Amino acid sequence: MKKEDRNRNWIARIALGLSVIAIALSLYSIHNSNSASLQKTLEVCISIMGIGITVILGIQIYTILTIDRRVQEKIENERKLYKDDNSQLKEDLKCFARTMQRFTTGNIYIANEEYNEAFCVFCLAAIDANKLGERELVSISLQQAVDILQKTNCINKSEIVMKHMDELKTGMIGISDEKAITVYNALLNLPSYE
């Protein structure tokens, strides 16, 4: 980019210099208009300089247009990047909302003493929170699930847990927390859903 700036500066200086020379020659020809051959020579010089200045201005215009095109391409690339980032954030927000909904639903199930459903949704909330990188929510959800395991012994025949058994086992493997190991071991001791 700096090399292009230097080139543009040189071109601008050359155009300015040629313009000054053309003005000086035209003023000189007006003062010394008594010699016909000198006047013709000066007219030719001025014409050549006019062509040179026009070429240099054309180069400047072309440079401006190409810079405009490059800026437009950069803007489009950044717009696409932000659009992709926005889409990812939108998906993460949906997943986070679902995770929070599951966590809240688990607390409602506990209040209603529906421990089987509560255990399942807390485990699913922990799995979703782990995908988002929400360590605190993972830990809280797993703690709730472990508390349910320690409090009651009713999940061994729960239809909802058996329905999500494979998802729960796979999800617990991906969580690096001791509580996930406790939940996984409890899931291994449950009979499969038939």
HEC secondary structure over the chain: CHHHHHHHHHHHHHHHHHHHHHHHHHHHHHHCCCCHHHHHHHHHHHHHHHHHHHHHHHHHHHHHHHHHHHHHHHHHHHHHHHHHHHHHHHHHHHHHHHHHHHHHHHHHHHHCCCHHHHHHHHHHHHHHHHHHCCHHHHHHHHHHHHHHHHHCCCHHHCHHHHHCHHHHHHHHHCCCCHHHHHHHHHHHCCCCCC
pLDDT of residue 193: 45
pLDDT of residue 25: 67
Render pLDDT for 70-108 as a digit per residue (tens, 0 to 9): 888 899 999 999 998 888 889 888 888 888 888 888 889
Render pLDDT for 22-78 as a digit per residue (tens, 0 to 9): 667 666 665 665 655 666 766 777 777 777 777 777 777 777 777 878 888 899 999
Render pLDDT for 122-152 as a digit per residue (tens, 0 to 9): 889 999 888 888 888 888 888 888 888 887 6
pLDDT of residue 67: 82
pLDDT of residue 78: 92
pLDDT of residue 6: 62
pLDDT of residue 194: 47
How confident is the model over 166-183, as a mean pLDDT? 84
